[in-house]
C-alpha cells in the first residue's frame, strides 16, 4: 500500500480570531484549508498555529511532514528565527514541499528560500484602498499535475488584488496568471526549486473573502500536495565540517 | 561621453594579512582583483575591506557602485546584518551587480539573495585534504558578453576543487562549467537575476593560488562588470507603506 | 564612434495592400515599424518583403543584420524553407536578434527556433468572432533594458486578443503580461535564448488597428533592437565535418 | 491497480546489424535498452525500428505510448517528416515523454521540439579521432526522481566524448554533468518542457561500447520513464480552425 502524504497546515491564526475575519473563517483559516483533504484516504493532516510551542512546528513535526501549507500575514516578524531556519533545512535538504498562500510570501521561511528581501524595498502593486474585486486565475500550463481536474480558469468572485511587478526570481515554472477586474495582472501560481525541495506560491486567499473554501482552490491544494511530496532522494555522505565528502576519484598523488 | 562603470571591490582582507596567503597576495586579494581594471578608461575602482567603518560599504559607497565584486571566506558571520541588507536592497531594487568569487557564496548578501541557506546543511563537494589541482573552466555559452575575448577554455594550473551537487537554484544562465583533475565537475560561472539586479557566481579564486592575477580571470571580471552595470531602470511610484502604488486602471466604483 | 545597429524589417506585405488593412497602414506595415527608428542616429534600417527575391533576405542582407524584426500572418507556408533555415543559422550561430510581432509566431523561423510545432495542434485562445478590445501590457521586469522609458503599463485601445495557454517553452525571461478587456491574460513579451542569439516574442500588433504607430510600441522596438544586437562573440574552430574541433586537452595516448 | 507505463523503444537499427557494433549489441541496441525494464511489473515495452512500416511508430502505437526512448545516428535524414511531426504532436499536445539517447539529438523530432537546428551550423565538441575514454556522469540534482537509487556519480569505462558548448537552450533542469578523461565536460542529462510533454537528453550510449547494458544506465531509464509518463491532463476545447475556443468571459457587447 502506498504511503500517505503527510500535510501540515500552518496558520498564523491571529486575524481570524476576531471580526471581520472571524465571521468568514469561524473555525480558523486552517480549518478551511484542511477541508481540502477531508475524505481523502491518501492524506494525513496536522495543524500548527503560531501560538503553539515552536509555533506547532518542532523538529518531530517537520520530520513527519511531506508538504507544509502556510498562511500568515501580520505576525511574520514574531516568528522564531531558529524554527524558520529548520523549515528551510527540511525543504532544501530533505525535500519537504512548501506552499505559500497569499500574504505568506512575506513570511521568514519563504523570503529566505526565495532570495528576495521584500522588507528591503517595495513589492508588487496593491490598491491603496483595497476592496474585493473579481479575479480570474488562468491555467498557463494545462499539462502540469497541479492543474489536474481544473477548468481553463478559476473564477473568484472577490479577492484582494496582488499586481505586478512582483520582483520575484523568474519562476522555474509558471502555472497560473490572474486577471483582475481593476485592470491588473499577476503571476499567481509559481513554482521554484530550491535544493531538493519544491516551493509553490499561490496568491489567492485574502482573509476577508471565503476563497479558501472554494472547491477549485481545494483541488489545487490537493494536486500540489500530491505532486510536491518529496521523492526518495539520494543520501549524500557528509564530513564532520558540514560539507559533502569529496574524495578524488582520479589519482592526485602527484600533488603534494 | 559614456559614463564610467563604478566598480567596488570588497575583500574580507583577513587571511591575506599572514602566511601562507600573504606571499601569494602581498598587497591583499583586492589588489589582485583591482589589476583587472588597470589602464581601462571606462572603470572607476573603489576598495572596501571588512575592517573599515561599515565594512567600507556605507550607503554613499553603495549608491555610487554599479557592480560590487566580493571576496570573503572565514569572517562571514562577523559581517554586519544591516549592511548586508542594504547590499541586497541595492541589488534587488536599484540593479547593482554582485559578483561572488570562490568562497563568497557563503557570505550573507549572497545567501540572502540566492535563497539557499548553506548553514542549514551540507553544500557541494570538497576534498577532505584539499590540494591544488588542475581546473579547466569551459565556456558553455560562447555568445554571452561575459565570454568575450576568451578562448574555449581557461586553464588554471592549481585551484581548490568545488564540486557538485551545489544545491543552488537552477541558474538563469550557465556560462562556465569546470573540469577537475581529480575527477569532479562544477558549474563555475552562474548567472541569477534578482529583481532589477544581476548576480554572478564565479567559483575560481582560492587564496593560496595566484589565480586572481591570471589574465583570463581579469578578462572575465571586466566583461562581467561591463555587462552587469545597471540599465537606467523604470522608477516605480511607492506608497508610504512600502508598497507600489496600485490604483485601479479600470473602474471599481461598483465595489464598496 | 560606436557602430550603428543594423535593423532589418521583414513584412509579409500582403494583407496591407488591400482594405481593411490598407487604410490603417497605407504605406505598409513595415513603414509603421520603421518609424520607430526615424531620427535615431544609432540605427540603419533595411526593408524586406516576401515578394522580393529571397524574400528580401538573401545571405548578404542577413550577414549585415544585427536584429531582424518580423511581421507575417497568412503566407507563412509560402516562405522558402532554405531562407528560413539561413535565418535560424544567423540567430543561433552568429547571434542575430529576432523579434516576432503578433502572428509572426506562426512563421517558419520562429517555430523552428522556438521548438513548438503550432501546426501540430491547437495554440492559445482566440475569440471565435474577434473584435478589438482594450489591452494593458504590464511591465513585469522593470529593470530590463527592454522596459527602459516605459510607464508601468502600455495601454492599447484595441487589439486582437491572444490568450493562454500558449504552450510555449517557459520563457528565459518574461518581460510583459497583457490584461484583456474580455477577461483573458497573455504573456505578451517573452525572451528566449537560442545558441548565441536572442528571440523576443512581442504579441501586440494586429493589422486592423494602428498599434504599430503607437509611441510606446516604438520605444519597445528601439529598446529591444539595442539590447538584442549581438555581442562580439567567440569564434570557435570547426572541423570539415561541421563539428567543433574537439582535440583532447589531457593525454589520451594510452587509449588505442 | 495502477496502470502500467507504456514504453516504446525506437532504434534506427542500422549500424548494429554489422561489425563492429554487432558484436557489442548482437540483438540490436533496442534489446539492450529493453533489458532496463525486464522483470518490472509496472512497464509494458514495445519495440520500433526504422525499417518497419511507419518506422514502427504508426498513430496507434504513438497513441498507446507514455514514453518514447530513442536511439538513432546515421539515418536521421531518411526518417519520414510526417511521422516526425506526429511524434511532436504527441509530446507537445498529449504529454508523451521523449528520451533522446546519445546521437539522437540529431533526430528530426528532437531538433524540431528543442528548437536548435544543428544542421544549420556546428554543434558541440567531438574528438577528431574519437577513441573511447572514461566518463563520470555526476548527479547535479540529487533530489530529482530521475536520480533515484544512483550513487553520486556513474562511472563509464569508455564512451565517445560529447563536449561543450552544445548551443542547446538553457535546460529547464540540469540533472547530470559529465567529466571526461580527455579534459572536457558536458551537460549530459538535460530536461526540457515542451507544451504538455517532457524531453530528456541523456548523452551516454555510443554504439561501440556496452554502455546501454550498464545497470546504472538502466536505473536512469526506469526512473525517467516513471517520471516522464504524462499526467492526466486538462482537455481544452478547440475550434474547427485548430485554435482553442476563446469566448470572452467578460462582456464585450459594446464593441462592434
Contact A231 D173 (CB under 8 A): no
**How far apart are alpha carbons C66 and C94 in whole angstroms?**
9
Q: What is the DSSP string of D139-181?
A: ES-TTSGGGTT--SEEEEEEE---BS---PPPPSEEEEEEEET
Distances (CA, A) of A104 to A70, B244, D16: 6, 18, 57
**How far apart are alpha carbons A226 and D136 in whole angstroms?**
34
Tell me the chain B residues in contact with residue A128 when contact means C-beta distances shorter than 8 Å. Answer: 239, 245-247
Q: pLDDT: is B235 or C76 the higher one?
A: C76
Whether residue B36 contacts residue B218, with contact meaning beta carbons closer than 8 Å, is answered with yes
- Phi then psi dihedrals of residue D103, to 5 deg: -70, 0
Q: What is the DSSP string of C18-50?
A: STTHHHHSTT-HHHHHHGGGTT-TTEEEEEEET
Nearest residue in chain C measured CA to CA from B234: C142
The model's pLDDT over A51-100, given as tens digits with 9 standing for 90+, comes to 999 999 999 999 999 999 999 999 999 999 999 999 999 999 889 999 99
**How far apart are alpha carbons A31 and C191 in whole angstroms?**
42
Omega of the bond prior to A57 within 30 degrees of 0, cis? no
The model's pLDDT over D56-69, given as tens digits with 9 standing for 90+, comes to 999 999 999 999 99
The model's pLDDT over C86-119, given as tens digits with 9 standing for 90+, comes to 999 999 988 999 999 999 999 999 999 998 766 6
Up-side HSE of residue C175: CA atoms within 13 Å toward CB? 21
Contacts of B61 by beta carbon, 8 Å cutoff, 6+ apart: B8, B46, B48, B54
Strand order in the sheet with A197-202: A43-49, A5-11, A67-71, A97-101, A197-202, A185-194, A173-180, A133-139, A153-159
Give the residue ranges of DSSP H helices in chain B.
21-24, 29-34, 59-63, 81-89, 108-114, 215-228
Tell me the chain A residues in contact with residue B161 when contact means C-beta distances shorter than 8 Å. Answer: 246, 248
- What confidence tier does A256 reach under pLDDT thresholds 50, 70, 90? low
Q: What would the 3-class secondary structure string for C165-232 be?
A: CCCCCCCCEEEEEEEECCCCEEEEEEEEEECCEEEEEECCCCCCCHHHHCHHHHHHHHHHHHHHCCCC
Q: Please state the ipTM of this predicted complex.
A: 0.94
Percentages helix, strand, coil for chain C (3-state, rounded to 5) are 30, 30, 40
**B28 - beta bridge partners?**
none
**Window D:85-144, CB contacts with A under 8 Å:** 95, 136, 139, 142-144
The mean predicted confidence, pLDDT, of chain D is 92
pLDDT score recorded for residue A1: 44
Beta strands in A107-220 (DSSP E): 123-126, 133-139, 153-159, 173-180, 185-194, 197-202
Tell me the chain B residues in contact with residue D141 when contact means C-beta distances shorter than 8 Å. Answer: 165
Q: In angstroms, how far is CA D32 from the centroid of its own chain?
A: 16
Asked if the model's pLDDT at residue D241 lies above 70, the reply is: no
The mean predicted confidence, pLDDT, of chain C is 92
Distances (CA, A) of A65 to A11, A48, A94, A219, D81: 15, 12, 10, 20, 49
Of the candidates D142, D195, D233, the beta carbon closest to that of A196 is on: D142
**A173 - beta bridge partners?**
A191
Nearest residue in chain C measured CA to CA from B181: C250
Nearest CA-CA distance, residue B78 and chain A, Å:
18
pLDDT score recorded for residue A123: 77
Enumerate domains of chain C plus CATH numbers. 5-119+187-228 (3.40.50.880)
Tell me the chain B residues in contact with residue C145 when contact means C-beta distances shorter than 8 Å. Answer: 231
Chains that touch C (3 or more CB pairs under 8 A): A, B, D
Contact C185 A138 (CB under 8 A): yes
DSSP state of A250: S
pLDDT score recorded for residue A118: 62
The model's pLDDT over C105-159, given as tens digits with 9 standing for 90+, comes to 999 999 999 987 666 567 788 887 778 899 999 999 998 999 999 999 999 999 9
Tell me the chain A residues in contact with residue C171 when contact means C-beta distances shorter than 8 Å. Answer: 170
Nearest CA-CA distance, residue A173 and chain C, Å:
7
Nearest residue in chain D measured CA to CA from B167: D141
The model's pLDDT over D91-146, given as tens digits with 9 standing for 90+, comes to 998 899 999 999 999 999 999 999 876 665 677 888 877 788 999 999 999 989 99
**How far apart are alpha carbons C150 and C214 in whole angstroms?**
12
Q: What would the 3-class secondary structure string for C45-56 be?
A: EEEEECCCHHHH
Amino acid at each position: 500500500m502506498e504511503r500517505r502524504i503527510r500535510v501540515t497546515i500552518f496558520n498564523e491564526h491571529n486575524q481570524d480570531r476576531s471580526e471581520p475575519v472571524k465571521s468568514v473563517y469561524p473555525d480558523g483559516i486552517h480549518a478551511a484549508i484542511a477541508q481540502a483533504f477531508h475524505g481523502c484516504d491518501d492524506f494525513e493532516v496536522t495543524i500548527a498555529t503560531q501560538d503553539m510551542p515552536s509555533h506547532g512546528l518542532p523538529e518531530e513535526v517537520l520530520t513527519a511532514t511531506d508538504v507544509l501549507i502556510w498562511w500568515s500575514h501580520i505576525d511574520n516578524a514574531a516568528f522564531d528565527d531558529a524554527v524558520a531556519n529548520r523549515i528551510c533545512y527540511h525543504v532544501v535538504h530533505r525535500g519537504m514541499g512548501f506552499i505559500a498562500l497569499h500574504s505568506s510570501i512575506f513570511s521568514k521561511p519563504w523570503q529566505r528560500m526565495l532570495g528576495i528581501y521584500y522588507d528591503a524595498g517595495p513589492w508588487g502593486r496593491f490598491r491603496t484602498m483595497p476592496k474585493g474585486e473579481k479575479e480570474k486565475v488562468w491555467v498557463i500550463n494545462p499539462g502540469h499535475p497541479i492543474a489536474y481536474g481544473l477548468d481553463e480558469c478559476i473564477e473568484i468572485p472577490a479577492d484582494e488584488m496582488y499586481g505586478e511587478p512582483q520582483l520575484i526570481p523568474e519562476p522555474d515554472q509558471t502555472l497560473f496568471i490572474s486577471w483582475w477586474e481593476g485592470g491588473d495582472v499577476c503571476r499567481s501560481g509559481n513554482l521554484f526549486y530550491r535544493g531538493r525541495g519544491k516551493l509553490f506560491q499561490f496568491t489567492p486567499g485574502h482573509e476577508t473573502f471565503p476563497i479558501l473554501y472554494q472547491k477549485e482552490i481545494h483541488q489545487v491544494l490537493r494536486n500540489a500536495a500530491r505532486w510536491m511530496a518529496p521523492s526518495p532522494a539520494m543520501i549524500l555522505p557528509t564530513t564532520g565540517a558540514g560539507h559533502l565528502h569529496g574524495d578524488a576519484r582520479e589519482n592526485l598523488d602527484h600533488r603534494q
